[in-house]
Amino acid sequence: MTTLAAVRTSPLRALYEDFHKYPEVAFEEHRTTATIAALLRERGLEVTTSETVTGVVGTLRNGDGPVVALRADIDALPIAEQTGVAYASETDAMHACGHDVHITSLIGTIDRLIAERATWSGTVVAIFQPAEEVGSGARAQIASGIFADHPAPDVVLGQHASGAVAPGTVGSRPAVLQAAADTWKVTLRGDGGHAAGPHKTVDLIVLAAAIVLRLQTIVSREVPPNETAVVSVGTIHAGTVSNILPDELTFTVNARSFTEEVRSLIEEAVKRIVNAEARASGLQAEPEFEHIVRFPLNVNDIATYEVVRSALEGEFGAENFTVVEPVTGSEDFGEFGTSFGVPSVYWYFGTGLAEEVADRTPAPNGHSPWYAPNPDVAIETGVRALTAVALRALAGVVQPARLR
């Protein structure tokens, strides 16, 4: 079993620090891809990369048995790191969502499986996926044809570092685990003008302010009270100097939902509100909408979830497994199960915080420039969890019932 003392001096800790120090954003993970591919080849896996998209797929064969896919995402975020850790990012990006832990944990799991190959039989397909943060990495990797040289899996398994469950523990839930997400980029175009004469033009900034306020009524006044949804405006860009009213303004609307009905309701409401406010302001040009991000619901197969929960409780103890509430964060992990027509299950593992940021209030979480997991706890927990579930799946207790 991996221990904290062993992690601190292990090659995995050094590997984690290297990934953390050199993060790369979505679809630009070239160094990361090359590093992973080399590590997998050193371990004797059948390795494939793509000429059209970043990411790696590696297959570890060990006789007859189930084909189990294990997935880790590899991209970072466009954030300037503020953690102060000795291995802080040396690029203009940051692993602020734990994907460096995910990569390291999957490689550590492969090492465990190789070391213990006398105890299991079957095939492991290791998926290192690009561009999860923009919601299109899984689809792009599948479309690239990278899986043509690898066996089709019977089940797809994945995990995410988390501050929502206690350090060294795990958690998940059956059925819907994570929300669907959509982002629309909205562009407003007018004539612009002098700030001293706003009556001679349509002030796009005032118009956008009215839109932003009105959008907040979608959840409170249009989504049924028994449903959960989030609507946020994440960016607004307009103007150059204070005495010019801009002739163009763009903003982005991000929405989270747990049913297709609410998802459609939100999209229709966003477009209705933007168009109505534009007309009320006298804007001549129609607002332009671009659907730039789309994440699917992340749904755990119920029967397979019970197998995963049993494996995790066996590894960590039932008292260290939490049945979590549905999460409004989103993931494109579910694209793999849907594409292959097989069950998929996703869970969280608690990482704690690095000592450099452990005393910050409030405690930093994912997508914060101050987020840094405790690397020793994170690696130990991630490897233990993924290995335990992989071995249970390889034992054949996950039935390879392909979805039709």
State pLDDT tens for residues 66-114: 999 999 999 999 999 999 999 999 999 999 999 999 999 999 999 999 9
Residue with tokens 């466009």: 78
Torsion of CA 235, 237, 243, 245, to 10 degrees: -110
What topology is assigned to 9-178+297-395 in CATH?
Answer: Aminopeptidase (3.40.630)
Retrieve residue 150's tokens: 């690898």
pLDDT class for 10, splitting at 50, 70, 90? confident
The percent of residues above 70 in pLDDT, for the chain, comes to: 96
Instruction: Show binding-site residues for Mn(2+).
Output: 97, 99, 133, 160, 367
What are 176-200's pLDDT values in tens digits?
999 999 999 999 999 999 999 999 9
Q: What is the pLDDT of residue 200?
A: 96
**What integer is the mean pLDDT of 33-61?**
98
Coil/strand/helix, residue 70: strand
Is 240 within 8 Å of 194 (Cβ atoms)? no
- pTM for the model stands at 0.92
- Give the domain ranges of the chain: 9-178+297-395, 180-295
Q: 127 near 98, Cβ under 8 Å? A: no
How far is residue 144 from each of residues 66, 137, 364, measured CA to CA in Å? 25, 10, 36
| CA dihedral (6, 47, 113, 340) positive or negative | positive
Identify the CATH number of the domain defined by range 180-295: 3.30.70.360
pLDDT at residue 241, as a whole number:
98
Q: What are 197-219's pLDDT values in tens digits? A: 999 999 999 999 999 999 999 99
* pLDDT for position 404: 34
Place of tokens 């953690």: 83
- Band (pLDDT 50/70/90 cuts) for residue 329 is very high
Cite the annotated binding site by residue number. Answer: 97, 99, 133, 160, 367
